[in-house]
A and B are shown apart, each in its own frame.
Chain A
Amino acid sequence: MTFRRKLLLVFALTVFLSVATVAWIVSLVTRRAFERSNEEQTAALVAQFQREFKRNAGDVVHRVEAITASEATTRMALAVSRGTREGGGYLNEAGPIAESHQLDFLEFVDSHGIIVSSAQSPARFGYPENSLANWPSLVSKPAFLKQEELSDGTVLGQFAVRAATVGDQPLYVIGGQRMDRDFLAALELPAGMRAMLYRSTGTLFAPQLLIDASGPMKQAEKLSPLIDQVQKQGHDTTVLMHWSPDLVDDETIHAIPLNGPDDKTLGILLIGSSRRPYVEVKKRIQSAAMLVGGGGILAAILLSSWAAARVTRPVEQLAAAAREVGGGNLHTEVEVTSNDEVGDLAEAFNRMTRELLEQKERLIQTERVAAWRELARRLAHELKNPLFPLQLTVENLIRAREHSPEMFEEIFRESSVTLLAEINNLKQIISRFSEFSKMPQPRLQRVQVNELVGGVARLFQAQLESRNDAAIACQLDLEEGLAPIAGDPELLHRALSNLVLNAMDAMRHGGTLTLRTRQDLDLVRIEVGDTGVGLTPEECERLFTPYYTSKQHGTGLGLAIVQSVISDHGGTINVRSQPGQGATFLIELPRNLDKLRAPVPLTSDVVTRSQ
């Protein structure tokens, strides 16, 4: 990963984390605020319900008292007191009275606790009123909760008991109002809130007993744990209900136990507060956070790109320049655009390249001098050998003229032959030097390397076999289907011939010459191995230096020419050898077939590198 990308990533991550943190904090604060608001709303609703409950209870008391004080009740109390209840009784008395006073329940009970007339259960006349223990003690008390058993089930209601005393015996009036869906519907609830009522039986949860303002509740079973818990513990409890996988359906349920006069839980009021507003706000916040975050990240990417580019451009320039220097171009310089550390670094880099260039030039000068010295030494050495016989021959001629004129003619003829031979030798030496200086550029064409290698082997086959006392076996190991390369067959042939000649020189007592070819991706490998005397590590290191030779009569130009040819083909040559274990020259040539279409001369820097 580049330095710029790393910077970009760090910047973007920073912005993202910042935005996410802000969104989370806002969400947290909002949720807490909502929870607080929800709790306040629930508390307000509970208070409202309690007010409504008390007001309703007050209404029930007032209505029961009005009935108690009515003329019809007085007349009934008088008749009951006198025991003059008519045959028809008061079967249908309670119903119309209850209806006129807007009561759902109304019973007239005599002093013995026997129902005289009942609005809600007319058929109960003559039966004892035993739905509530010790109910006469509730006379003059506020309204209370009671479960009333009807023919179609048991219902919950608010009741009040009053007594109409005419004569000695009281006539009790027990009236009440039903707490049902109508009661729930009458509650004024804020939007998003609802009230539910469960008529407790004291036993396990029964879903049909749970209603809301629209009737029996759907998914009532889900509230079973809450209701069972309230029935057991008898105090307010709040839970969060998940009605569906969708969070907007979540609801906070606050359960309030409704107790009868004996503190037994007769009902449970449940106040549900929808969490839809909160979830929607939360979603909006999340959407906004995503939007802001996304925008922030985008902006961060743009800003980071700009900043990273600004910061990393000098570094990248330095890196590119370093690569240039690594590639050998010491003339590379970077632009100094700032006065900070990066600017200092650029200046130091430029200073370094300048010093490297100076050092290189000095080295080149030094090497050039050394080369000239080596050339001079080699020339002197090469020229000195033929010059010395020339000198001796000329001195013999002079001495023969002076001391043996009769033999001068014969000596002259013999000396002339020697002089011509040595002069010819000098010409050859000069010719080889001239040839090295005139190494031609390769003229590329499609070359089948196996054919090339085979041709070289065939050329030297006769020489290898003619050495009776030191025969050399030639072993060809050519990979089939070797791909052709772009090369100059004449130069490559000369280079391989030089290597074969060197191998033959190294195997004066015979051995095995191995010529091997291999394909490696876009490279073709040629190995020329011998089983001769081998080379020391020092010889291996200096082997390709011009004019260096380990042979007694070598010019030191053979391997230099080979290396020059291989380099001109863009390839490399190395030697692998141990003293006494022969040597193997490894040539790697690129295929370079694409250069056949555009036969451009190899670039100077490549030449430079190969040198």
Chain B
Amino acid sequence: MLFGWRSLVVSSLLFGMVATAETRPQYGGTLHVATRIAPASFDPADNSQPDSVARRNLSRLMFDTLVVMDHRGHLQPALATSWQAAPGSQRWQFWLRRGVKFHDGLPLTPEAVAASLRVPNPGWNVSAGVDSVVIEREAAAPDLPAELARARNGIAKRGAGGSVIGTGPFHASDWQPGKKLSLSAYEEYWGGRAFLDAIEVEMGRSNRDQLIALELGKTDIAEVATEQAQRTIGNGRRVVTSAPVELMALVFSRDKQSSEEGKQRDALALSIDRASIRSVVLQGVGEPSGALLPNWVTGYAFVFSSDQNLGRARQERSEIQHAPAWTLGYDAGDPLARVIAERIALNARDAGITVQTTMSANPDLRLTRLVLSSPNPRIALPAVAAAAGVGAPNLNSNSIDELYQAENAILQTQRLVPLFQLPAGFALSSALQDWSEDRDGTWHMDDVWLGSTRP
């Protein structure tokens, strides 16, 4: 009995110590990340590289922005501790955090920040003050701080030979463009050293390979394709998904040339059975959408109908004398895109419209994924318009009505047909502790640490 009581006490103490050790953050360890993307550069201002949630997150590991957006969409200080707008919101001043150093040990200066911001924003007038930078725009820019929170505005010092140096929690120790990126914790990070010692990123891996690597314990974070999310969860994996951050849409290569073509585009949009595609192809993930921005960003997306209306589609089609056959292009490396494109072609045929899927470079319309550029709709909508080849909407106020009108105007051009709003999903290993991410899929890697539990 005595033995039993002592044993119970010892066991309880040991359990308590183990439990404490498992829940208390630990320094050290190397986090392995696998991605499908394979960028040739991580320069935040390099627009030639495809945009994706994964790229933004990897970029944020190395490059800080002046401000960041928290999970509620509120702006928080980062490299800038405070900011102020002059009346009219054309002139903004950002006061920089003191004591911040680049990865090469040199201090962050207003001049460096100004030089960095001029690269992705050549239209801005950026000047350096004593301990601040001043940004002047030609028009009112009430959302400039939100714009500066985008990863593309990460502060980087560009050296000779295309090298870029940031101030983020990790610095690149090895970089094989398109293949591998090795990051090490930056000891002098202004926000405090990260728990992880290093992060190894393997790029260009297919979703299937990533999941196998996760299964074998060779990676801790793997991208999960939309259609695989449910199955991955069903297989007992730990999957985190963002709010919808990616618009899948049909984008026409040119403006409509006639009212008849407008009717044909309208008939095509009405013929698409988004519900079946979501149910079967997307495995129930994502949201059918008739809007350009997700509902969680604007709050009014549901107003734009996304229901199939075959009768009206046929009616529209019957009013067209001559409906030319269209070619529908898609990303050959995206198996999901192929099935959806073919399904759209079948739907279109039901409405009497001939759509031929193709992988050629110049189709009449293309199935495209557009990543939400910012949780701020007044920043995201112009980006969508630009991607669709439509002129930037005129947004001068914070009015939701103005935003709706602008989005509706873009849709009226019929340059693009919204299909789905898709989330970004990642499968995580069980060793990953204190994982958190924002609704737009932004990781908070500085809080993450590795536990001992590994498969």
Cross-chain contact A123 with B346 (CB below 8 angstroms): yes
Which residues between 202 and 227 of chain B lie within 8 Å of chain A, taking CB atoms? 227
A126 touches B280 (CB 8 A): yes
Cβ-based interface call for A46 (8 A):
no
- Determine which residue in B280, B340, B342 has the highest number of CB atoms from chain A within 10 A of its CB, and name it: B280
Give the residues in chain B near A123, CB-CB below 8 Å.
Answer: 281, 339-343, 345-346
CB B263 to nearest CB in A, in angstroms, measures 25
The docked-state distance in angstroms from the alpha carbon of A88 to that of B279 is: 6
> Contact between B339 and A126 (Cβ–Cβ < 8 Å)?
no
Does A151 belong to the interface (CB within 8 Å)? yes
The secondary-structure label for the interface of chain B is helix
Q: With A125-B280, A126-B276 given, is the CB distance from A91 to B345 under 8 Å?
A: no
Chain B CB count within 10 A is highest, among A88, A91, A121, A123, for A123
B284 within 8 A of A: yes
What's the Cα separation between A350 and B2 when bound, in Å? Answer: 170
Given A123-B339, A151-B357, the answer on whether A91 and B346 have CB atoms closer than 8 Å is: no
Alpha-carbon gap, A91 to B276, bound state (A): 11
Q: Within A86-136, which residues are at the interface with B (CB < 8 Å)? A: 87-89, 91, 121-127
A262–B227 CA distance with the chains assembled, in angstroms: 40
- Asked if A88 contacts B342 (CB within 8 A), the reply is no
Q: Does B231 reach chain A (CB closer than 8 Å)?
A: yes
Q: How far is the CA of A236 from the CA of B427 in the complex (A)?
A: 61
- The secondary-structure label for the interface of chain A is loop
Q: Does B230 reach chain A (CB closer than 8 Å)?
A: yes
**CB within 8 Å of B: which of A347-391?**
none
- Give the Cβ gap from B314 to chain A, nearest Cβ, in Å: 17
Q: Is the CB of B283 within 8 A of A88?
A: yes
Q: How many A-B residue pairs have CB under 8 A?
A: 42
CB–CB A89/B280 < 8 A: yes
With an 8 Å Cβ cutoff, the count of chain B residues facing the other chain is 18
By beta carbon, the residue of chain B nearest A88 is: B283
**Interface 1/0 per residue, B255-290 and A, CB below 8 Å:** 000000000000000000000100111011000000
Contact B345 A88 (CB under 8 A): no
Chain B residues positioned under 8 Å from A151 (CB to CB): 342, 345, 356-357
Q: How far is the CA of A122 from the CA of B277 in the complex (A)?
A: 11
Q: Whose C-beta in chain A lies nearest to the C-beta of B342? A: A123
Judging by beta carbons under 8 Å apart, are B283 and A121 in contact? no
How far is the CB of A604 from the nearest CB of chain B, in Å?
111
Contact B346 A87 (CB under 8 A): no
Residue-wise, chain B 335-352 has the 8 Å CB interface mask toward A (1 for contact) of 000011111011000000
CA distance A88 to B285 in the complex (A): 9
A-B contact pairs, 17 of them (CB 8 A): A88-B227, A88-B230, A88-B283, A89-B280, A91-B283, A123-B339, A123-B341, A123-B342, A123-B343, A123-B345, A123-B346, A125-B276, A126-B280, A127-B346, A151-B342, A151-B345, A151-B357
Given A88-B227, A151-B342, 8 more pairs with CB closer than 8 A = A87-B230, A88-B230, A88-B279, A89-B280, A122-B339, A124-B346, A127-B346, A152-B357
9 nearest CB pairs, A to B:
A123-B342, A123-B343, A88-B283, A89-B280, A87-B284, A122-B339, A151-B342, A151-B357, A91-B280
A-side residues, CB < 8 A to B, are: 87-89, 91, 121-127, 151-152
Which residues of chain B have a CB within 8 Å of any CB of chain A? 227, 230-231, 276, 279-281, 283-284, 339-343, 345-346, 356-357
